[in-house]
Amino acid sequence: MDEFKQRGVRIVALSVDTPAENRGLREKQKYTYTFLSDEKREVIRRYDLVHAGGGPTGDIARPAEFLIDSSGAVRWVNLTENYRIRPTPEDVLKVVDGLGAAPAAQ
């Protein structure tokens, strides 16, 4: 987390889960970054990330990582069909370093 903060990167997680579910996950896993709830799937639809029927109770978000700069421009996207396949923090830091000016999550 310190490496991201040093580069001006703010990490934000977005899910279809309720705020209470997100809070429970944050506490259980001891995550220190922000979790946002998109129960109506508005942001998830805007970024074309809906995995229709992918969850036990309906639509969920496809696994994805975005780097969004302070103007709101998407600078990098990583999409996968398999939630187990994710870039490492080191991989993302390399992308941040390659972009020049540090992106900041909105």
63-83 pLDDT, tens digit per residue, is 899 999 888 899 999 998 777
User: Which pLDDT score is estimated for 98?
Assistant: 93
Domains plus CATH for the chain? 2-99 (3.40.30.10)
CA pair distance 20, 83, nearest whole angstrom: 22
7-50 pLDDT, tens digit per residue, is 999 999 998 899 999 999 999 999 999 999 999 989 989 988 88
Nearest to 61 by CA among 20, 19, 17, 29: 17
